[in-house]
């Protein structure tokens, strides 16, 4: 049974989080998840548990850092931001994604007569 919302491929969430933080600056986890959903025009659903596991993993790798701050609704929240290592990783992950998506695109054209 197909659904309108897609599950995010394993490994691509890291790339999307890094790109979101690079483009938007520091954000809390909920804000990152909502931004990814907005950019995907609601085609992607970001599970709250999944986003926080991803953020913990990215902090442990040194690609992002976390700091406590106050959210727009005046609540204490952990804000995440890019590190220098995270910017380097974003470049590497982007290049890898472009290479892999190109290969997949070529495979999808097989037997198409093109």
107: enclosing H helix or E strand: helix 84-109
**Residue at 88 is within a domain:** yes
Query: Which percentage of the chain shows pLDDT scores above 70?
Result: 88
**Residue at 6 is within a domain:** no
Which pLDDT band, with edges at 50, 70 and 90, does 2 fall under? very low
Calculate the CA dihedral of residues 50, 55, 56, 60 and round it to 10 degrees: 140
**Residue at 5 is within a domain:** no
According to the model, what pLDDT value does residue 74 have?
92
Provide the residue range defining the domain that includes 27: 12-109
- The predicted model scores a pTM of 0.84
Is residue 11 pLDDT above 80, yes or no? no
Q: How many CB atoms lie within 10 A of CB 82?
A: 22
**Residue at 39 is within a domain:** yes
Residue 89's CATH number? 1.10.10.10
**Residue at 3 is within a domain:** no
**Residue at 2 is within a domain:** no
Number of domains observed in the structure of the chain: 1
């Amino acid at each position: 049974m197909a659904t309108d919302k897609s599950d995010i491929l394993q490994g691509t969430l890291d790339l999307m989080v890094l790109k979101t933080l690079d483009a938007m600056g520091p954000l809390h986890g909920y804000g990152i998840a909502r931004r990814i959903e907005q950019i995907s025009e609601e085609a992607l659903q970001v599970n709250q548990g999944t986003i926080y596991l991803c953020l913990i993993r990215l902090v442990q790798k040194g690609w992002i850092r976390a700091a406590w701050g106050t959210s727009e609704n005046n609540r204490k929240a952990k804000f995440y931001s890019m590190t220098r290592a995270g910017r380097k990783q974003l470049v590497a992950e982007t290049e890898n994604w472009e290479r892999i998506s190109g290969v997949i695109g070529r495979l999808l054209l097989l037997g198409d007569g093109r």
